[in-house]
Amino acid sequence: MTDDIRERRTGHRVTMTDVAREAGCSQTTVSVVLGGETSIRISPETRRRVIEAVAALGYRHRPPRRGRPKPPPETPAAPVLARAAGSARSRTARVTSEIGLRIVGGLYPEGTTLPGDAELMGMFKVSRTVLREAMKTLSGKGLLMAKSRIGTRVRPRADWQLFDSELLMWHAEIGFTDDFLNALGEMRLMVEPEAAALAAARRQPGQVAALNGWVDRMAAGRSRRDFVDADLNLHLAIARLAGNPFLPALSSLIEVALAAALTKSSPVDEPGGAENSAAQHRAIVTAIAAGDPAAARAAMRIVIGEGVRRAAAGAG
């Protein structure tokens, strides 16, 4: 089908950015899934979201035939999704994401030395300048360390900046281990109950109505995506009401933890599940509205505990 026909059906040309936004993943992951790339491991949940996003935007993805050579990384396989931006910045972002996914996915394990610059430049079809910028970005995230006469090595996982939003996204796209999910749950229990308590102590008149609006959307539970969006926005709004400038910096952790739990097993999939979950979240909002920090803290712990249980059950 030509671009013109696609534009008449959707009203605009769909790009990888559109699909990535719809699927909640990176453009590189969209390219990997649609291009049939096998060297980068992508979780089944992420692959499903990409294919569903393509369908939701009015396209039918056909995987490349076996035996047909894959297109070069600079030209993704899907015909209308092949409009990758040509700027150096977008190329740097793509190379950063592809190498990052390979590191997180174990293709480049901890302690190993990456291929040389010439090989990587040929692999990704980019200039030395673009490659060096990507390496600099990955080094800033704690993933790489360059040493003269040795090369660029993958640093131990303990050195990775796990609060970095891109790094968390790469973990989500590759697929979380049980240990990683448990660690995310522990971090949420350390942070979010206290954020709810602070919100109860510091909320101002008129700020609670928006929280109830998000709970109402959760209760409606029309789709997984609507539920996740409402759930996430409620938690982020509570973090903002806490009034601590450090809490918004943890929004990526909250976002990835919720997405991980709800894509594996969502309350929307169970009879009455959306309503029950919304009621648990409503208890947090009620405590915040009443200015009761202890009740808000306890209600948040119940919600996070349920999320951890659901994620563990989905992983099993």
**Residues 73-96 pLDDT 10s:** 433 333 333 333 345 678 899 999
Whole-model pTM? 0.70
Q: Which amino acid is at 186?
A: E
Question: What whole-number distance in Å separates Cα of residue 48 and Cα of residue 52?
Answer: 6
Q: Is residue 241 within 8 Å of residue 296, measured between CB atoms?
A: no
Q: Which residues of the chain does CATH 1.10.10.10 include?
A: 86-162
Q: Which amino acid is at 221?
A: G
Q: Which residues of the chain does CATH 1.10.260.40 include?
A: 1-84
Question: What whole-number distance in Å separates Cα of residue 184 and Cα of residue 269?
Answer: 23
Residue with tokens 């980068």, as numbered in its chain: 40
DSSP 25-74: S-HHHHHHHHHT--SS---HHHHHHHHHHHHHTT----PPPTTSPPPPTT
DSSP the chain: --HHHHHHHHSS---HHHHHHHHTS-HHHHHHHHHT--SS---HHHHHHHHHHHHHTT----PPPTTSPPPPTTS-SSSTT-----SHHHHHHHHHHHHHHHHHTTSS-TTPBPPPHHHHHHHHT--HHHHHHHHHHHHHTTSEEEETTTEEEEPPGGGS-TT-HHHHHHHHHH---HHHHHHHHHHHHHHHHHHHHHHHHH--TTSHHHHHHHHHHHHH--SHHHHHHHHHHHHHHHHHHTT-TTGGGGHHHHHHHHHHHHHHS-GGGSTTHHHHHHHHHHHHHHHHHTT-HHHHHHHHHHHHHHHHHHHHHHH-
In the CATH hierarchy, which top-level class contains the domain 86-162?
A: mainly alpha
Q: Which residues of the chain does CATH 1.20.120.530 include?
A: 176-315
First to last CA, the chain: 41
pLDDT tens string, the chain, 316 residues long: the values are 333 334 434 455 666 667 776 766 777 777 778 776 666 777 777 777 778 777 777 655 555 454 444 444 433 333 333 333 345 678 899 999 999 999 999 999 999 999 999 999 999 999 999 999 999 999 999 999 998 888 999 999 999 998 888 898 898 888 878 888 888 889 889 999 999 999 999 998 888 999 999 999 999 877 888 888 899 899 999 999 999 988 877 877 777 767 666 666 678 777 888 899 999 999 999 999 999 999 999 999 999 998 878 777 665 4
CATH of domain 1-84: 1.10.260.40
CATH architecture of 176-315: Up-down Bundle (1.20)
| Neighbour-count burial of 46, counting CB atoms closer than 10 A to its CB (0-12 exposed, 13-18 middle, 19+ buried) | buried
